[in-house]
A and B are shown apart, each in its own frame.
Chain A
Amino acid sequence: MSIIPTLLKQLVKKPFTNPFPKKHAPNKVSDVKKINDPIPVPDDFRGKIKYDRAKCIGCRMCVTVCPANAMEYLPKEKKIKHHVLRCIMCAECVDVCPVKALSSSKEFLLAETDKKSPNLIEK
């Protein structure tokens, strides 16, 4: 069976998987032998949305197309507020923004213990 050479080779190879990224590793690393950096994400990656408040003209296009209702319009300031926890990272808002006030970042580890953390609300 041709699977047997593959299996034997696999026996002596190091594990494929990468331990969880550095930033979230436990404080005590004495029992972790080697921590690999996470595999870099590709150029087109759709990660956490970054908002440039100064550029925004309040056209509301991003609010109209957002499938997850993650964009909240602030009528007084004519700006928006982005709720990261609701976002499904489709990046449609990035495509439609006429002044490029929104952009996809490479950040994807968004877990927080406080749901009101400023990391989870972009404004």
Chain B
Amino acid sequence: MHDAYKMFLGPVHPALEEPIFFDFKIVGEKVIATNLKPGNAHRGIEALGMKRNPIQVLYLSERICGICSVSHASTFSRAVEAAAGIEVPERADYIRTIFCELERLHSHILWAGLLAHEIGFHSVLHYGMKVREDVMDLLEYLSGNRVNYGVYVIGGVRRDIPKEKHEKIRQSIKYYNAAFEKFKDVFLNDKTIRMRTEGVGVLTKNDALKLCAVGPTARGSGLNKDTRQDWSYLAYGDIGVKAQLPSQVTGKINGDVLDRTIVRLLEIKQSAEIIERCIDQMPKGSLVSEPKAAVILSRLKNAEGEGIARTEAPRGELHHYVRLAKKEVVDTWKAKAPTYNNLMAVPVMMKDAQIADIPVIICSIDPCIACLDRVSIIEGNSGKSMNKYDLHELCLRKSEMFGKIERGHQ
């Protein structure tokens, strides 16, 4: 038996796209225990948000993440609308849905490329990048920009999708149905990819349930949950979405990296279907509940209440909480990103994995650290960030201090 040794990964490391710190305990080649410490990408966006009115915060929320920016804007705007009791026209809901699904398309395709890249298939990475370009072009065509689409406003959307633009969307759908077949062939039939993903990073259904995994990570472990299915919002209620499970393809559920891959690939096809149904069924009507920003602003200023919204972002359930309290600014704003849940499952997946599997397993939950890092507690000017044990220690010290003062009084 070898002695255990420690290996650190991050916070800045070429195998990680974003800063996060992992601390592995390893015997030989085997990972025995994993610890992780986020907190390096915290930017204090919520603090900025609580100094601004909801119209301003909407654009800030979009910039929490570059890949799932629509999800944040969608969730924040619905939370504000819930808090202020603003109704959204039906046509706007359909357009919002189309943007959410286009975002899922480009996010999942990018991810498929990245997974292949971690395994060593650079050609698939470049193929993924090429395929993704089509949806980026489509997003640019529909919204005007390639990243941060700025389509959402409080109470509706800014840009219409008129009939003339439907043709181009249909072409893209056809293109993605073909791309899906190709990806499916590569990921399911290639021996090397199978060997690197099958049985690697297993998360059992029970563990997924206990650790509150969300999104494709949960569905890969066989949990039948999808916010679009369980909590009808936007146009998903009309469309009828079913959670995609890996058993649809392989007939069984292992909860490994391969299963999570299958779920995401199936969702590429599903998103294309949802977009197609949205443009088929799109109702007529206005785009916004109130076209004048000044009227919306004064309504929000006089509103009082709390709003919660949930969205199935590409990585899982995204949650925003907003409280308005008859003030010009947002009183409280809290975002909780799906990576927060899914990262908790990583130490379980890492159990008994080999060192070479670490990047593949981390990649398999599609982590987004920019979304995840919502708080960072720094001690004084030292720059040292505090974890829960440090905070507990601090709490005990405070009680002790009060005890001393009390004894002094006696």
| Interface check A42, CB cutoff 8 A | yes
Is A16 a contact of B127 with CB atoms below 8 Å? no
State the CA gap A50–B393 with chains docked (Å): 55
Interface assignment of B167: CB less than 8 Å from any CB of chain A: no
A64 near B53 (CB under 8 angstroms)? yes
Contact between B143 and A44, CB atoms less than 8 A apart:
yes
Inter-chain contacts of B37 with A (CB < 8 A): none
| Pairwise interchain contact A42-B297, C-beta atoms closer than 8 A | no
What separation, in Å, do the CA atoms of A96 and B56 have in the docked complex?
Answer: 12
Please indicate the chain A residues that have their CB under 8 angstroms from the CB of B62 in the complex: 90
Chain A residues in 8 Å Cβ range of B63: 88
CB distance from A47 to the nearest CB of B (A): 9
- With A3-B186, A46-B144, A90-B150 as given contacts, are A16 and B130 in contact (CB-CB < 8 Å)? yes
Decide: A65 and B144 in contact? CB cutoff 8 A: no
B140 partner, pick from A16, A42, A65, beta carbons under 8 A: A42
CB < 8 Å neighbour of A42 from B52, B141, B148: B141
The residues in A between 1 and 48 inclusive whose CB is less than 8 angstroms from any CB of B are: 1-3, 6-7, 10, 16, 41-46
Q: Which residues of A contact B124 (CB under 8 A)?
A: 3
Contacts A1-B189, A67-B56, A92-B55; A42 near B182 (Cβ below 8 A): no
Interface of B is mostly: helix
Nearest CB in chain B: distance from A43 CB, A? 7
**B159 located at the interface, meaning its Cβ lies under 8 Å from any Cβ of chain A in the complex:** yes
Report the contact-size class of chain B (Cβ under 8 Å from the partner).
20 to 34
Are B55 and A65 in touch, CB under 8 angstroms? yes
Given the known interface contacts A61-B294, A95-B293, the answer about A44 and B127 at a Cβ–Cβ threshold of 8 Å is: no
Q: Is A120 interfacial (CB-CB < 8 Å)?
A: no
A85-113 interface with B by 8 A CB criterion:
88-92, 95-96
Proximity string of chain B (59-101) to chain A, C-beta cutoff 8 Å, 1 when within and 0 when not: 1101100000000000000000000000000000000000000
Q: Are B52 and A45 in contact, CB atoms less than 8 angstroms apart?
A: no
> Is the CB of A56 closer than 8 A to any CB of chain B?
no
Within 8 A of A (CB), among B337-386: none
Task: Give a binary string over B132-166; 1 marks a CB under 8 Å from any A CB, 0 the rest.
Answer: 01000000110111001010010000110000000
Chain A hits for B127, CB < 8 A: 3, 6
- Asked if B190 CB lies within 8 Å of chain A CBs, one says yes
Total residues of chain A contacting the partner, CB 8 A: 26
Interface 0/1 of B163-206, CB less than 8 Å to A: 00000000000000000001001100110000000000000000
A1 to B186, CA, bound (A): 7
What separation, in Å, do the CA atoms of A67 and B148 have in the docked complex? 14
**A108 nearest in chain B by CB position:** B145
Per the bound structure, the CA–CA distance linking A45 and B141 in Å amounts to 9
Chain A minimum-CB-distance residue to B190: A1
**Which of B59, B133, B182, B297 is in CB contact (< 8 Å) with A3?**
B182
Known: A61-B294, A95-B293. A67 touches B52 (CB 8 A): yes
Task: Check: B262 CB closer than 8 A to any chain A CB.
Answer: no
* Cα-based distance from A66 to B56 in the complex (angstroms): 6
A41 to B144, CA, bound (A): 8
- Residues in chain B near residue A3, CB distance under 8 A: 123-124, 127, 182, 185-186
Residues of chain A within 8 A of B58, CB atoms compared:
67
| Chain B residues within an 8 Å CB radius of A43 | 144
CA distance A61 to B294 in the complex (A): 8
Chain B CB within 10 A, most for which of A61, A67, A68: A67
Asked whether B145 lies within 8 Å of A45 as measured between CB atoms, the reply is: yes
A7 to B122, CA, bound (A): 11
B387 to chain A, nearest CB (A): 32
Q: How far is the CA of A45 from the CA of B148 in the complex (A)?
A: 12
Asked if B26 is an interface residue, CB under 8 A from chain A, the answer is no
Is there a chain A Cβ closer than 8 Å to B57's Cβ? yes
Instruction: Let me know if A65 and B186 touch, CB within 8 A.
Output: no
- In the complex with contacts A3-B127, A45-B144, A92-B59 CB distance below 8 A: yes
- Of all chain B residues, which has the CB nearest A2? B185
CA–CA, A42 and B186, complex, Å: 34
Beta-carbon contact of B182 and A67 below 8 Å: no
Contact A44–B159 (Cβ < 8 Å) = yes
Query: Roughly how many angstroms separate A96 CA and B153 CA in the complex, as a whole number?
Result: 12
Q: Which residues of A contact B59 (CB under 8 A)?
A: 67-68, 88, 90, 92
11 A-B pairs within 8 Å (CB atoms) are namely: A1-B186, A3-B127, A6-B127, A7-B123, A41-B144, A42-B140, A43-B144, A61-B293, A90-B59, A90-B62, A96-B294
Q: Across chains A and B, which 9 residue pairs bring their CB atoms closest together, nearest first?
A: A44-B144, A67-B56, A67-B59, A90-B59, A96-B293, A45-B144, A2-B185, A65-B55, A90-B150
Binding site for B on A (CB under 8 A): 1-3, 6-7, 10, 16, 41-46, 61, 64-68, 88-92, 95-96
